[in-house]
Amino acid sequence: MPQIFRPSADIWLRAAVVMVFFLVLGGGLFATGLARSSYATGQGWPIEQTVPFSHKHHAGDLGIDCRYCHVDVERGPVAGIPPTYTCMTCHSQVWTGAPMLAPVRDSLASGQPLVWTRVAKLPGYVYFDHQIHIDRGVPCVECHGRMDQMPLAYRAHALEMRFCLSCHRDPAPHLKPPDMVTRMDWAGWDLVAAHRAYGAAAMKRFHIEPAKLTDCGLCHR
């Protein structure tokens, strides 16, 4: 009875088995990786806008407080994209002729809204309330990152559920004095003992119970 296979056949067969195994494994890893990649989450990808508004310039260099434009952040669920009117409070005085600002001027003149592209938009089934977070002293930077260093705004964090959970499960380290929420740079904050204790104190003061903070109904309804 002649051999059906050449000696090399075994090599090939085993190679194939190993290949399949790693393909399956790799496929799984790739999928999970992709879901977490900045490509999928948009994390760190600057976004083109009709008017190339620079947070770096306004918030960083000029040091304008977030709340000057995002007026509703303290009193309502959404911080709000500022109305054309707000832009023009300054730009009716400065850079009045700048071609870059033409769309803004047109908008005010025509009454047609400016069209922006949302950067930190959560899915429709997620209900995030800025008011309460600000009130409890969660600084803007916790979720939005160093806006003061972004020429064009981008997502500093993936804003996935696990990101929210990381804070909701252990709020203490993220809490800062409510009157300083718009501060961007907290470097050195943790070094000072008193400051390190602040989070715990705030938890007590505001009756923040992490057990309740992971109720599904808190964000999904």
Partner 1 sequence: MARRADPPAGLAAEFADAEALLRAARRLHESGYRRFEAYSPFPIDGLAEAEGFKESKIAAATLVGGFVGAATGYGMQVYTNLDFPIDVGGRPLIAQPAFVLITFELMVLFAVTACILAMLLLNRLPKLYHPVFDIERFGLASLDRFFLVVDADDAKFDRKNSRALLRRLGAVNVTPMPAADLEVQAEP
Partner 2 sequence: MASQDAALDADYRHVTREVTRIPLAFPHKRTWWIAFLAALTLLGLYLVSAGVTFAVGIGAWGNDIPVNWGIAISNYIWWIGIGHAGTLISAMLLLMRQRWRNSLNRFAEAMTLFAVVCGGLYPIIHLGRPWFFYWMAPYPATMGVWPQFKSPLTWDFFAVLTYLTVSAMFWYVGIIPDLAATRDRAKRHSAQVFFGVLALGWRGAARHWARWRQAYRTCAAIAVPLVISVHSEISMIFAAGPEPGWMSTVFPPYFVLGAAFSGFAVVAMIATVTRRAFGLQDLITEKHLDMLGRLTLATGMMTAYGYFADVFGALYGGGRYELHTLHERFFGEVAWAYWGAVILNFVPLQLLWLRRWRVAPVALFLVGLSCTIGMWCERYMLLVSTLYRDYLVSSWGHFWPSFWEWTLFFGSIGLWLTLFLLFVRILPMISAFEIKEATFEEEEAAEASRG
Partner 3 sequence: MPMTPPHIARSRLSDRDLRRAAAEFPTAFEGLSQTDRRDLLKVMGASLALAGLAGCHQDPHPEARPYVRVPDGIVLGQSRAYATAVTFGGYAQPVLATTHEGRPTKLEGLPDHPASQGATDAFTQAALLGLYDPGRSKGPARLGQPTDWAQIDAAMVANAARLDAVKGAGFRLLSGAITSPTLGRLIDAMLQRWPQARWHAFEPVNDDLRLEAARQAFGRPLLVRPQLEAAEAVISFDDDLLGPGPFQTSQARGWAARRAAYQRGQGGSELLTAEPAPSLTGAVSQHRLIASVAGVDRLVLALAAALGVGGVAAPALAATQAAWLAEAAAALRRAGGASYVGVGAFHDPAIQALALRINDRLGAIGRTTVLSQPLIKATPGNSGSLAALVADAHAGLVDSLAIFDANPVYAAPADLEVAGALQKVRLRFHAGLHADETAALCHWHAPVEHDLETWGDALAVDGRPSLIQPLVRPFYAVRARSVLLQNLQGDLAADPRRLLAATWTDKLGDLDSPAWRAAQERGFLDEPVTAVTAASAAGPAPATSASNALTVLVRPDPAVWDGALANNPWLQELPRPFTSLTWDNVVAVAPALARRLGLKNGDVVQLAAGARMLEGPVWIMPGQDPSTLVVTLGFGRTAPGLGQAVGFDVAPLRTVGASWRVDGATLTPTGRSLPLATTQDVTTLGDFDFVRTAPRTSVAPKPPTPPPPSFYPPKPESRPQWGMSIDLDVCIGCNACVVACQAENNVPVVGKTQVAKGRHMHWLRVDHYEAGEPDDPAFFNQPVPCMHCEQAPCEMGCPVNAAVHSDDGLNLQVYNRCIGTRTCSSYCPYKVRRFNWFDFTGGDPPELRAARNPDVTVRSRGVMEKCNYCLQRIVAGKIAAQVAGRDIADGEVRTACQQACPTDAIVFGDISDGASQVVARKAQGRNYALLEEANTRPRTTYLARLAPDAGDGDG
State the residues that interact with partner 3 by CB under 8 A: 41-42, 47, 71-72, 75-85, 107-108, 111-119, 121, 123-127, 129, 131-132, 135-136, 206, 209, 211-212, 215-218, 220-221
Partner from partner 2, partner 3, partner 1, none binding residue 193, C-beta < 5-8 Å depending on class: none
Q: State how far the Cα of 135 lies from the Cα of 128, in Å rounded to an integer.
A: 13
Burial of 79 (0-12, 13-18, 19+ CB in 10 A): buried
CB of 165 to partner 2, least distance (A): 5
For 148, the 3-state DSSP assignment is helix
Q: Is 4 in the site for partner 2 (CB under 8 A)?
A: yes
Contact between 131 and 70 under an 8 Å Cβ cutoff? The reply is no
Q: State how far the Cα of 148 lies from the Cα of 7, in Å rounded to an integer.
A: 67
The single residue among 25, 81, 102, 165 that binds partner 2, judged by CB under 8 A, is 165
Q: State how far the Cα of 50 lies from the Cα of 72, in Å rounded to an integer.
A: 23
Partner from partner 2, partner 3, partner 1, none binding residue 131, C-beta < 5-8 Å depending on class: partner 3
Partner from partner 3, partner 2, partner 1, none binding residue 7, C-beta < 5-8 Å depending on class: partner 1
The single residue among 72, 74, 135, 160 that binds partner 2, judged by CB under 8 A, is 160
Binding segment for partner 1 (CB under 8 A), chosen from 1-9, 33-41, 86-94, 141-149, is 1-9
Burial 21-57 (b: 16+ CB within 10 A, else e): eeeeeeeeeeeeeeeeeeeebbbeeeeebebebbbbe
Interface contacts to partner 1, rule CB under 8 A: 1-7, 9-10, 13-14, 165, 214, 216
